[in-house]
Amino acid sequence: MKKLLVMAGVAALAICTATADTIKDGSVSVKPGRWLWKQETNILAIPIKEENIECLIPEEARITLSKLARDLEEGCGVDNVRSIQGGYLFKLKCTGKTKGEADASILHTDTTMKINAKGSATVGFIPAGFSMKADATYQGDCSTAEIAKAKERYLRENPGAAAPQ
């Protein structure tokens, strides 16, 4: 599920009309279970496509946009977060290893998530255009083995967290 969360942090391109008010952060809540993730990223005009299925446990089913950005890469954050119907518009800003900005949107229900991003990044010393679109859809319950593996990963990535039930 980390890839789902990471890619959600890259989300961009305004889809809906935003409200004038901005908030510091936003959060996304989805249904725990098996999720199918389809994504296409373009940087330096090179398309990269990915598709995978991951198990999302209840402890990971609600996440802030700031955490999504940090999961993308250390040094990434969000700014100018605006609530829209069904999601958020925001600016993704990265100042770490990869430097760049993207206008981002994330739209979701409890069983779907759509992400779009468009902006620019610096690859080495080369400025490059960047775009990304992703769709995630709920596929049903995780198997017992998938849940055990996801819980083990969650505890490893969140030292000090209570063991998920």
What would the pLDDT profile of 40-70 be if each residue is shown by its tens digit?
888 777 888 989 999 999 999 988 888 877 8
**Average pLDDT along the chain:** 81
Q: Is the pLDDT of residue 13 over 70?
A: no
Mean pLDDT within 124-140 = 88
Percentage of the chain with pLDDT > 70?
84
| Alpha carbon separation from 87 to 21, 50, 72, 77, 116 (Å, rounded) | 14, 23, 19, 17, 12
Percent of the chain with pLDDT over 90: 43
Phi-psi region of 124 (alpha: psi -120 to 50; beta: other; left: phi over 0): left
Residues 58, 158: Cα–Cα separation, whole Å: 14
- pTM (2 d.p.): 0.74
Decide if pLDDT at 87 tops 60.
yes
